Amino acid sequence: MLLFEGVIAGVDEVGRGPLAGAVVAAAVILDPENPIEGLADSKKLTAKRREALFPLIQERALAWCIARASEAEIDQLNILHASLLAMRRAVLGLQLAPERVLVDGNRCPELPYPSEAIIKGDSLVPAISAASILAKVVRDNEMVAFDETYPGYGFASHKGYPTAQHMQALKALGPTPIHRRSFGPVKNLLSKFG
């Protein structure tokens, strides 16, 4: 784990690869006096473990914010810029101003604070791990809810990623309002479904 001094906000996003749903970002400022055991990259934790950590992070963090960029914004901007927008919104939504922002990955959104991109930051920086957990739990829960709104697509199981099941449903049923129109597989089908 990397250690940094001062009020540090960790930032991460979830949902760059799916064909459907928003991209969700979170920013978290952890309390050094109130550590949370078991923080790790959200992808390395079970769904049950992420669900257990979610309220702990919200209770013990000094500040946290969850933000998103919609499917329409993804289609308008592209997924990279929509991800950066969601991360910027999460940081600007914090109730406490950070002295420094650490972002998972290799790009930082434009921010009014010093920021640094850290590759594999969700495994190295506890605040980024916490952000990845908040973002993943929120996005996964949104996709489970969409499973009821749009039955037949299997959103609860694949969370919008282009699995064989999702691709088959997309071909049979056509795109939903939450599908990203600019993504190749959806774009190609739109010409058929008009």
**Entry pTM:** 0.94
Q: Is 110 left (phi over 0), alpha (psi -120 to 50) or beta?
A: beta
Q: What single letter denotes the amino acid at residue 115?
A: S
Q: Is the pLDDT of residue 97 over 70?
A: yes
Each residue of 4-53: pLDDT tens digit? 668 999 999 999 999 999 999 999 999 999 999 999 888 899 999 999 99
Is 193 or 30 the better-scoring residue by pLDDT? 30
Each residue of 122-142: pLDDT tens digit? 999 999 999 999 999 999 999
CATH superfamily of 8-147: Ribonuclease H-like superfamily/Ribonuclease H (3.30.420.10)
**Domain assignments of the chain as residue spans, ordered by start:** 8-147
Place of tokens 């289609």: 75
